[in-house]
Structure 1
Amino acid sequence: MTASVVLGLCAYTHDSAAALLIDGRLVGFVEEERLDGAKHSKAYPERAVAWLLGEAGLSPQDVTTVAYNFDGRRYLFALGQLPAHLRQPASRTRALARARSFTTVHRRYQARMRELSQRFPRARLQPVQHHRAHALYAFLASGVDDAAVLTVDSLGELQTTTTWHARRDSRLTLDLRHAVNDPASLGYAYGAITEHLGWRRSDEEGTVMALAALGDPARFRDVMSWAIRLTTDGFTLDPTLLALRVLSSRYGRVTSAFADVTCPPRPPTAPVEPVHADLAAALQERTEQVMLHLAARARQLTGSGLLCLGGGVAMNCVAAGLIAQAGIVDEVHVPPAPGDSGTAIGAAAAAWLDATGLPPTDIAQRCYLGPAYPGLTLPAAPRPGLHAARLAEPAHHLARHLAEGQIVGLFTGELETGPRALGHRSILASPLNTGVVERLNATVKFREPFRPFAPVVLADKAADYVRLRQPSPFMSLAAPVTDLTRDQLPAIVHVNGTARVQTVTSEQHPFLADVLTAFGDITGHPVLINTSLNIKGKPICGTPDMALDCLTESGLDALLIEDWWVTK
């Protein structure tokens, strides 16, 4: 019997990635940026696909289905909005440009499908509605059997916010309960104001989220409430402040009226002033209000006590954490890759589900899905100025050096999934080390001094350090810290009194759990700072060469790469 080989793709847009299902089982997933070195890579995922097929002993001719994470035919639905936009004074000047841009994207989609048919001549091509791919992945990654699924992003064809009811027994059903269409888009609004504040949209929204804790939302609260208005079943955007979307970088996203009532656009190299922090604070506050409203609505529409979040806005860990603390639902689940890269898994899952009616397997609670280098051997001098030595007890060696105040890169096991370093491609440091945050930002990560660092903690000790009612294995939720943390580990506490925590068990990550245990034996606290193994502007290191580059180009003291200790 011929095997079913489903290749899921996020391709030709930001966060290029590929996933492979063989007979319904997820066998691997990798983001292209981790292999080609281009952050948020927009390329066809050439290296990712080659690795997946190579690991499975397959060729492109063996692929039976290619599942693409957009259904480009749906872009034409935007043409139906044209008359309404032409009638509104605030959107009239952009209405035709918007319609043309959606038509252009539809043509590009057709060209992409032709290219994929040439790359995989024996495969059936299946476009998958973008939000359905998000929702399926978010639900399957959670491992639960019944949940509300809320997907919030910038744009998927024409949808920006969708609420689903997902159930799984012997079959899997995913029922759409409500949809919000563009131009009402929370992701668009957050990205627009991120860009206005001088950072890159679709990349540096997390910087704006961090800056928000330093500002006073009251200054621009009324403006933001007018720009993003709550409705009974969702929200809308005011086009006099947030301009009607045109799918072209030539068209700005905020209006001159918005700048008049807030601040002029900040050049990326200009100083960050209090007005910028205040605007970020008002944006973040409004985002939290909208997300809490949407979560309550999802609970009402589905009756489920569990909530899965997907889409780029799900990466707003402060908003996700507030939902988890609010009591709206019993638990909040965010997959390790809630952004577009994860839709490669969701698209593959949709293709398998549509063909068989059966849920795919081996997706739940998995985040280590990419390339590994178990037999790695390094020379004594892997680079000029570097020295490598093999360790007999790497976990205890690492814990001891961290306790002594060193900042160390960790490269071990399979490459993790998503934007957060989860202990396989991490930079670790002691939260007890005076000045560690300043040193990490200034000499290792080369980023803004107000950016916080997240803690990783043994799951059975987490309650001592954060007030969180559930596990957080993928570092997805910001939670209030305890008095113990505030008093003894201030390095992991953001200005708003929260920490974006990762909880670790020995089953999930045996090596990191051993390191935390050993560090706790030495210091009394099984807690470490965990940030991604990269420097600003570059992706998380996916290969040994990238990790060695990170060591030589940053202020890292050492790198533990598998069981090799590399120092300068």
Structure 2
Amino acid sequence: MSARKVGRPPGGQPSDTSPIGNFHLGINLGHDRAAALVSDGRILVAIEQERLDRVKHSPGLHRTSGGLELELPWEAIEYCLDAVGASGLDLASVTANTPGLDLGPQLAAQGFPDVPVHSIPSHHLAHAYSAWWPSGLDDSIVLVVDATGSSDEHGRTESYSLYRGTPQHLVPLHSEKVESHLAGMTTLGGLYEEITRRIGFVTRFGDGLSHAEAGKTMGLAPYGGAARNLRPWIEYSEGSYSIDIASYDILLEVEALLKRDGQDGSKAWMRPELVELAAKVQYELEEALLHIVREAMRETGCRNLCLAGGVALNSVANHRLVQELGIRDFFAFPAAGDSGIAAGCAFWAEHRYGNGSASRKPLATAALGKSASDAEILGALESVADEVSFERLSSDAIIEKTAAALSRGEIVACSREGSEYGPRALGHRSILADPMFERMRNVLNARVKHRESYRPFAPVVPVEAAEEVFELGLESPHMLLVAPVRPELRKVLPAITHHDGTGRVQTVSRQDQPFFHSLCMRLKAVRGGPPVILNTSFNLAGEPIVETPEDALRTFLATDIDHLVLDGMWVTKSRVEAKKYEDHSRDLAEAILPVGLAADAPSLEVEMAELDAALFHGAEQCAWTKSELRDISARIGRYKETSRTFHQSEIGIPLRSVLGDGRLLLLDPLNGSELIQRSSGKVEHLDMGAVGRLLGRSDPTQPRRSENETIEGETSMIEGTPGTFA
């Protein structure tokens, strides 16, 4: 992958109104591209590129004759500069980052030739800054967990990283690294993503690119549970941070499960075996995180926790950490995934290269986008004047109308002020409903969001009432904790109570979220019951959350949403009457929900052994076709060295991929393995006989063999031809 200069930098003359040289721009590249502008220790504005180009996860990758090329998120950059009235020449610094081998500095230097460009030491450090700097905590454990961090010159990649946060510094505690060529299944985030892909939860871009939708797996997991009794996927030892993910064994198990399933064409989330995969990977992730944080607490004595990295969006795991480890204070950055890298880069640059006056400031709000002007709002409304009617109202009047509408079972969308930074809609780009209506979840999934029927919705509750409704323990302003709904209220609030009796809670205070807080209290006054509102992001399935008034109106008109709050405007549809709950739920089919395996489901040990024998022992009788075996070999062969149960092979010596002379062996027993010279990139293709001879020479414990010597019984499975691969 290479850098690509596309568009032109926002240059021109320094602005007359901005403090020249006081803005630090951070940029995330790769998936979830984003830009953030920091000054005086706080984020002034931040935006994800997908909100502007309307491409979900906006990867910014383009396939060319020379391979994949990467471009800066110019729309997001210009959005940030425009929000503060600045130009590119007002910037004190630019810091950009990609995971893996960092191409960010090179691309930033091309785009901003007249601005100092910095290179942050690692992807995980950027994540850590995004959580630590705005946390408001003077002493904390900072944990970064994702699919892949930065790669070094030795071919190793960050898996997870721990820091101790002090008032002014981040002190490294532990950095877990894995071999880069195995990172797809030997990191916690990589494991979760791979299982998500195998279930079928992916967003596809062009050019063969895709993004795993891990949140869908987290939502599916409570419907399973039998798989928790299967062999452990991850092992760890008390007193050690390191974790051991048996990637090869896991992949064998997955293949065996899918083969037993038969893949009858049902939707993935309706197939019991895939439901169990979701439950299993969720459980294994939670247990691993508990181990890591427990070890950090033992070493430091600290009970405050900051989280970042894509895994920090797993709100179920977050709440287990808080509850089971007795966490006193908890902070997860709302843009915990890679979009938050932009903020982390900017915080780091100002801290490292600023004039020393910047100090850490608690994050006041996640609504870090810019507000639409009256002219922009009126222009958008006039463009659809024949389809909507609208009136300007005071905030109190809008709250009154919204509460009354929700109490009748009507659905209201909000596009207010600046948009949220990160994947959670927290009241500024939200769809709202009353969770006391029994089938409101089904209505929203089927007739508004157009998504899977099992998907849950989040509750919003005033912070002072949270413990009356949820077993929460801490505030959750960014919707990053899932907590049990109190048993006596689960039937009262059916639309926000998930299958396991939990809800992903957003707490709101009168000071930080006055509109939402007042709306919760007003809804309670109108209809009785708990002061809880159902909140979901203002978008359709497969689309980014709305950003502009035009986006909001387009989505409003395309769905069964009844009313739209567009800042100070109350908008209704001219041609369609608002629907009460009875109208919304009329003729609505019963939701079909997932079902996992029975608790006594048989073991997969036999199928796993059969598949391993077909891949690495020359066995010809198995349940998989030759074509299927070739595909499986290409995907999982390289992970053989991670096996705890099936570590033997027909060549009779331990298999490993990293050789001591700068060479890398990527095992693929049925299609031909690759021997790569790291320094030159030269690639040789080897059959398993050649692999055996190579490893025999490289292993001092094994007797040396001549170049022409073969291993007894050594044949290719394909076409039965010794040493060849058809």
1:18 corresponds in structure 2 to 35
2:235 corresponds in structure 1 to 229
Q: CA deviation at 1:353?
A: 1.2
User: Are the counterparts in 2 of residues 20 and 29 from structure 1 also a CA contact under 8 Å?
Assistant: yes
Candidates 385, 389, 392, aligned match of 1:390: 392
Q: CA deviation at 1:433?
A: 1.7
User: Are the counterparts in 2 of residues 198 and 268 from structure 1 also a CA contact under 8 Å?
Assistant: no
Classify 1:468/1:220 alpha carbon distance in 2 versus 1 (closer, same or farther; 3 Å): closer
* Structure 2 residue 480 is the aligned partner of structure 1 residue 476: yes
Any idea what SS the aligned residue of 1:479 has? Answer: strand
Candidates 461, 464, 468, aligned match of 1:460: 464
Q: CA deviation at 1:298?
A: 2.0
User: Are the counterparts in 2 of residues 30 and 370 from structure 1 also a CA contact under 8 Å?
Assistant: yes
CA distance in 1, matches of 2:28, 2:500: 35
Q: TM-score, structure 1 length as denominator?
A: 0.86
Candidates 484, 489, 493, aligned match of 2:493: 489
Any idea what SS the aligned residue of 1:259 has? Answer: helix
> For structure 1, which segment, 58-67 or 434-443, has the greater mean C-alpha deviation from structure 2 after superposition?
58-67
AA of the residue aligned to 1:199:
F
Q: CA deviation at 1:207?
A: 0.9
1:433 corresponds in structure 2 to 437
User: Are the counterparts in 2 of residues 197 and 265 from structure 1 also a CA contact under 8 Å?
Assistant: no
CA distance in 2, matches of 1:49, 1:484: 49
Deviations 1:261-285 (A, max 9, x none): 5556967955621111122111111
Deviations 1:126-163 (A, max 9, x none): 12211111111111232111100111100111112111
Q: CA deviation at 1:27?
A: 1.3
What is the aligned residue count? 513
Any idea what SS the aligned residue of 2:510 has? Answer: coil
* Structure 2 residue 42 is the aligned partner of structure 1 residue 42: no
CA distance in 1, matches of 2:386, 2:542: 24
Any idea what SS the aligned residue of 1:300 has? Answer: helix
Classify 1:24/1:490 alpha carbon distance in 2 versus 1 (closer, same or farther; 3 Å): closer
2:46 corresponds in structure 1 to 29
* Structure 2 residue 22 is the aligned partner of structure 1 residue 4: yes
AA of the residue aligned to 1:284:
Q
1:240 corresponds in structure 2 to 248
* Structure 2 residue 96 is the aligned partner of structure 1 residue 68: yes
Structure 1 unaligned segments of length 5 or more: list them.
76-105, 243-254
Candidates 294, 299, 315, aligned match of 1:301: 299
> For structure 1, which segment, 139-148 or 501-510, has the greater mean C-alpha deviation from structure 2 after superposition?
139-148
1:368 corresponds in structure 2 to 367
CA distance in 2, matches of 1:373, 1:4: 25
2:722 corresponds in structure 1 to none
User: Are the counterparts in 2 of residues 380 and 387 from structure 1 also a CA contact under 8 Å?
Assistant: no
Q: CA deviation at 1:529?
A: 0.2
User: Are the counterparts in 2 of residues 19 and 52 from structure 1 also a CA contact under 8 Å?
Assistant: yes
Q: CA deviation at 1:118?
A: 2.8
CA distance in 1, matches of 2:221, 2:106: 44
Q: CA deviation at 1:355?
A: 1.7
* Structure 2 residue 165 is the aligned partner of structure 1 residue 173: no
CA distance in 1, matches of 2:311, 2:501: 21
CA distance in 1, matches of 2:350, 2:262: 46
User: Are the counterparts in 1 of residues 126 and 345 from structure 2 also a CA contact under 8 Å?
Assistant: yes
2:309 corresponds in structure 1 to 311
AA of the residue aligned to 2:295:
R
AA of the residue aligned to 2:453:
P
Classify 1:518/1:204 alpha carbon distance in 2 versus 1 (closer, same or farther; 3 Å): same
CA distance in 2, matches of 1:344, 1:467: 34
2:324 corresponds in structure 1 to 326
1:56 corresponds in structure 2 to 84
User: Are the counterparts in 1 of residues 159 and 177 from structure 2 also a CA contact under 8 Å?
Assistant: yes
Any idea what SS the aligned residue of 1:420 has? Answer: coil
User: Are the counterparts in 1 of residues 83 and 370 from structure 2 also a CA contact under 8 Å?
Assistant: no
1:82 corresponds in structure 2 to none
AA of the residue aligned to 2:454:
F
CA distance in 2, matches of 1:265, 1:206: 25
User: Are the counterparts in 2 of residues 64 and 122 from structure 1 also a CA contact under 8 Å?
Assistant: no
CA distance in 2, matches of 1:456, 1:153: 27
CA distance in 1, matches of 2:118, 2:223: 46
* Structure 2 residue 566 is the aligned partner of structure 1 residue 561: yes
Any idea what SS the aligned residue of 1:323 has? Answer: helix
Q: CA deviation at 1:316?
A: 0.7
CA distance in 1, matches of 2:285, 2:41: 37
CA distance in 2, matches of 1:265, 1:368: 46
Deviations 1:225-280 (A, max 9, x none): 13x333431312224245xxxxxxxxxxxx45631255569679556211111221
2:158 corresponds in structure 1 to 159
CA distance in 1, matches of 2:433, 2:424: 16
Any idea what SS the aligned residue of 1:535 has? Answer: coil
Question: In the TM superposition, what are the counterparts of 1:189-228 in structure 2 within 5 Å?
Answer: 189-200=191-202, 202-216=211-225, 218-219=226-227, 221-223=229-231, 225-226=232-233, 228=234
CA distance in 1, matches of 2:514, 2:255: 51
Moved over 4 A (4+): 261-271, 356-363, 378-381
CA distance in 2, matches of 1:214, 1:239: 24
AA of the residue aligned to 1:472:
S
CA distance in 1, matches of 2:41, 2:134: 14
Whichever of the two has the greater Rg, that structure is 2
Q: CA deviation at 1:303?
A: 2.0
> For structure 1, which segment, 195-204 or 512-521, has the greater mean C-alpha deviation from structure 2 after superposition?
195-204
1:346 corresponds in structure 2 to 344
Deviations 1:369-399 (A, max 9, x none): 1121252326467255333232341111111
User: Are the counterparts in 1 of residues 389 and 572 from structure 2 also a CA contact under 8 Å?
Assistant: yes
User: Are the counterparts in 2 of residues 369 and 416 from structure 1 also a CA contact under 8 Å?
Assistant: yes
CA distance in 2, matches of 1:35, 1:384: 26
User: Are the counterparts in 2 of residues 382 and 388 from structure 1 also a CA contact under 8 Å?
Assistant: no
Q: CA deviation at 1:465?
A: 0.6
User: Are the counterparts in 2 of residues 220 and 262 from structure 1 also a CA contact under 8 Å?
Assistant: no
Q: CA deviation at 1:412?
A: 0.5
Q: Identity rate of aligned residues, in percent? A: 35
AA of the residue aligned to 1:238:
A
Deviations 1:305-363 (A, max 9, x none): 10111110111110001111113422322111111111111111111111246654445
* Structure 2 residue 527 is the aligned partner of structure 1 residue 539: no
AA of the residue aligned to 2:555:
C
RMSD: 2.2
Candidates 511, 514, 517, aligned match of 2:521: 517
AA of the residue aligned to 1:546:
D
* Structure 2 residue 135 is the aligned partner of structure 1 residue 142: yes
Deviations 1:142-188 (A, max 9, x none): 211110011110011111211110011xxx11011011113330000
CA distance in 1, matches of 2:42, 2:422: 19
Classify 1:294/1:359 alpha carbon distance in 2 versus 1 (closer, same or farther; 3 Å): farther
Classify 1:261/1:272 alpha carbon distance in 2 versus 1 (closer, same or farther; 3 Å): closer
AA of the residue aligned to 1:556:
I
User: Are the counterparts in 1 of residues 40 and 357 from structure 2 also a CA contact under 8 Å?
Assistant: no
> For structure 1, which segment, 297-306 or 19-28, has the greater mean C-alpha deviation from structure 2 after superposition?
19-28
AA of the residue aligned to 2:571:
V
AA of the residue aligned to 1:240:
Y
User: Are the counterparts in 2 of residues 295 and 328 from structure 1 also a CA contact under 8 Å?
Assistant: no
Any idea what SS the aligned residue of 2:147 has? Answer: strand
* Structure 2 residue 421 is the aligned partner of structure 1 residue 417: yes
User: Are the counterparts in 1 of residues 437 and 493 from structure 2 also a CA contact under 8 Å?
Assistant: no
User: Are the counterparts in 1 of residues 28 and 338 from structure 2 also a CA contact under 8 Å?
Assistant: yes
The structure with more helix, counted as a fraction of residues: 1
